[in-house]
Amino acid sequence: MILRLIILCCILFSTKTHGLRRRCNNTGVLFLDKVLGSPIVVYGEPTRKSIYLETDTELLFDVTFRVDCVLKATDIDNKIEITGAGIKADRMACQWLDPGNVYVVFLEKCPSNSTLYCPLDYQERVVDDMMLELLQRTCHLTSRAPLHSTANHCPNVSMAEFCSADEEGQFKIIPKSKYVDDDSQINMKISFNNSNQFSSQTNPTKPRSIADQIADNPNSHGRLTPLASMWMAFLIIFVCN
């Protein structure tokens, strides 16, 4: 009986630990702080994502990123390679960067290879109507087409009605009560399924269910999959008999 209890506790602990490792919680960093802390801010869409490292603590991938607009920095190509994105042991934030979505991404040139770009410790922002409005109200962003681009696909940024000419050198956001610029209010969590692939997430601009909100609580624990739940029920019955 004691041996059965020890085995059950070991399985419960390993399942709980695995769930915590696979979770990525929102860091709550404001958009303006991300802009100020980033040497490179680009707007565009991932066209390829390839996982190259998967351990108990990390899951990292490379991304080919089509740059539609350079919001901060100069001399950025219209196609760049991003490496080291995802879950990294020494970072608080995680990256998602799924092909098919448009993002604002916060980068730096990789110290080990200046031809590659590395994500900073910030969650990227999905571009939706709220994000487009935030770009308009954030002063002194640039609207530069990338190098080798044949067209300008930049959104409207730093609009004159929100940013006056005497504010040169001052980054700020003109507030508006109807939106909240706080990543902690947006479902930008990363999770993985049993196949260790990126699971589809709730649209970050739509209201979430209570279950989803509880799942985003940083104090909560990893959730069990249906298969794991069945195993746990079986083990409990086995121990009790």
Domain count, the chain: 2
The answer as to whether 147 is a domain residue is yes
148: domain range?
31-206
pLDDT for 234 equals: 60
DSSP assignment letter at 229: H
Q: What is the pTM of this model?
A: 0.68
The answer as to whether 117 is a domain residue is yes
The answer as to whether 118 is a domain residue is yes
Confidence of residue 187 (pLDDT cuts 50, 70, 90): very low
CATH number at residue 174: 2.40.50.120
What does each C-alpha distance from 203 to 106, 128, 209, 222 come to in angstroms? Answer: 21, 10, 12, 21
% of the chain exceeding 90 in pLDDT = 50
- State the Cα–Cα distance between residues 127 and 205, nearest whole angstrom: 10
Is there a single domain that holds both residue 152 and residue 202?
yes
The answer as to whether 120 is a domain residue is yes
pLDDT for 241 equals: 62
Is there a single domain that holds both residue 110 and residue 11?
no
